[in-house]
Structure 1
Amino acid sequence: MAIYIKKPSVRVAYEYLVEKILKDGEDMITEDGQRCRELRNTVIEITNPKLKSISPKYPLGKKAVEQYTNNLLYGSKNIFSYDYHERLFKYPVNNNEINQIEYIIDKLKEQPNSRRCVAITWQPDIDIEVSKKDYGSVPCLQFVQFLIRDNKLHQTVLFRSNDLMVAFVSNALGLIALGEKVAEEVGVDYGTYTHHSVSMHIYIDRDKDYIKKYFPDCLKYLE
């Protein structure tokens, strides 16, 4: 099932999608044996990304959003299988580092109509090997693209997998902050944010207490 929704803010999109997935999603079992309810190819267009209020129904709250945004833009000291800041700003190739965001800013300044302003995170020589193991994580965010149209910067991102209940809000607001940074550097207004998740899901057993607390009316969909 593929869906497209247009909402003014991340907050509104999140609250809508939790109920939508719990009501209409399909159950699947992950590689590590957890039960998820999933909607495939969920595309969310945020029309006014400057609206950054955080839903009171988001379990991890403001602190998680701030930490994710800071790590994305400036890096993290935590040791992890991957780091989005590194993959976007210091993508490793043959003992060199490529700053994909710097390339995008320079390209948009030089050619505002470019469709080549793309950054990727997947690194096959690392992530394929990690994927073969029973432990370790690989990037959920795969792709970021920027387009300038009508003198506004429009941002599209692609996630291979997205945990709606605890990750989506931080992911989206952090990436919007990245988009605003690019727009400021290029010298244009920031337009829309479009978030495409191949697998948008909720861990319905793991997060049942969150559902009960924040979305009690949706418990009927788990019966």
Structure 2
Amino acid sequence: MNSEHIKDAYLKLVEHVLINGDIIDDERGSTTIECTNLQMHIKNPNGGILYNPLAKENIPKGCVWNEERIRKYSEQLMNPKNKGFIYTYGERLRNNQGIDQITKLISRLNNCKNTRRATAVTWKPEIDFEEEDVPCLILLDFKIRGRKLHVTGVWRSHDIFGAYFANVHGIWNLMRYVAMETQTKVGSLTTHSISAHIYEHDLEAAKKLIELNKKGIRWF
């Protein structure tokens, strides 16, 4: 699927899973509706000079995330410090066995604009095969093409209603940082959700979200 901006991408994905999802019970016994290998290409997450994805008009009605919560989430994703959690994305990306993967990939991009090696991972086999709480976001890949920075994220498990909107804003914030450090412009953001799902307890809220926002939106 394709979308111009983050808001529309989120709404399209929620509606798609509501319509096309299959009922699946996960390892914890939670019932979800799921679509597998769902991809969204967000053409312009930056939205232009005057566009602010965090402005109230760009946060869908009925969304569980507001500007303050998204801002905090985005800051945590950039922060290498873990304050007592099993894991944080900031730690896995920026302090993975003492390695700041974001700094490393920025260096690769600056050394070769066409590199295919600017990739950061969050999965730690020595830890994550034994833990109950493990990263959902597995990989972020950065590529510069046509003087623009394009990013692809891969999720093994993706809560489309409850997490997608914040996830994408966090990555958009990271994209802006990497683009600044590589003297490029923010390009497209592609998300690949291997398990794109909505929890049963969120179904009514997800349906309400679509009802409140669908009018006037060109979906496909």
Equivalents in 1 of 2:17, 2:45: separation in Å? 22
Structure 1: segments with no counterpart, 5+ residues: 131-135, 218-223
The structural deviation recorded for 1:79 is: 2.3
- With over 3 angstroms needed to count, the CA separation of the structure-2 counterparts of 1:45 and 1:212, relative to structure 1, is closer
The structural deviation recorded for 1:208 is: 3.5
**Residue type of the alignment partner of 1:112:** K
Deviations 1:192-221 (A, max 9, x none): 0011110010002x113423543459xxxx
Task: Tell me which residue corresponds to 1:154.
Answer: 150
2:91 is aligned, of 69, 86, 106, to 86
The structural deviation recorded for 1:64 is: 2.3
Equivalents in 2 of 1:114, 1:102: separation in Å? 15
- Give the secondary structure class of the aligned counterpart of 1:144: strand
Task: Tell me which residue corresponds to 1:196.
Answer: 192
Moved more, 14-23 or 67-76: 67-76
1:60 is aligned, of 56, 65, 70, to 65
**Residue type of the alignment partner of 1:194:** T
Task: Tell me which residue corresponds to 1:121.
Answer: 122
Task: Tell me which residue corresponds to 1:220.
Answer: none
2:42 is aligned, of 46, 55, 66, to 46
Moved more, 66-75 or 141-150: 66-75
1:74 is aligned, of 75, 79, 85, to 79
Task: Tell me which residue corresponds to 2:206.
Answer: 211
- Give the secondary structure class of the aligned counterpart of 2:129: helix
Identical counterparts, % of pairs? 34
The structural deviation recorded for 1:149 is: 0.6
The structural deviation recorded for 1:76 is: 5.8
8 Å contact 2:87–2:135 — kept in the other structure? yes
The structural deviation recorded for 1:170 is: 0.3
The structural deviation recorded for 1:154 is: 0.6
**TM-score after normalising by structure 1:** 0.86
- Give the secondary structure class of the aligned counterpart of 1:137: coil
Do structure 1's residue 176 and structure 2's residue 181 form an aligned pair? no
The structural deviation recorded for 1:18 is: 1.4
Task: Tell me which residue corresponds to 1:166.
Answer: 162
Moved more, 57-66 or 189-198: 57-66
8 Å contact 2:136–2:158 — kept in the other structure? yes
**Residue type of the alignment partner of 2:123:** W
Question: Across the two proteins, how many residue pairs are aligned to each other?
Answer: 203
8 Å contact 2:79–2:94 — kept in the other structure? no
Equivalents in 1 of 2:144, 2:10: separation in Å? 26
Equivalents in 2 of 1:18, 1:57: separation in Å? 12
**TM-score after normalising by structure 2:** 0.87
Q: Which runs of 4+ in 1 moved over 3 A?
A: 75-78
Task: Tell me which residue corresponds to 2:112.
Answer: 111
Equivalents in 2 of 1:181, 1:75: separation in Å? 15
User: What is the aligned-residue RMSD (CA, Å)?
Assistant: 1.6
Structure 2: segments with no counterpart, 5+ residues: 48-52, 213-220
Deviations 1:80-121 (A, max 9, x none): 2111111111101xxxx0111001111111111100001000
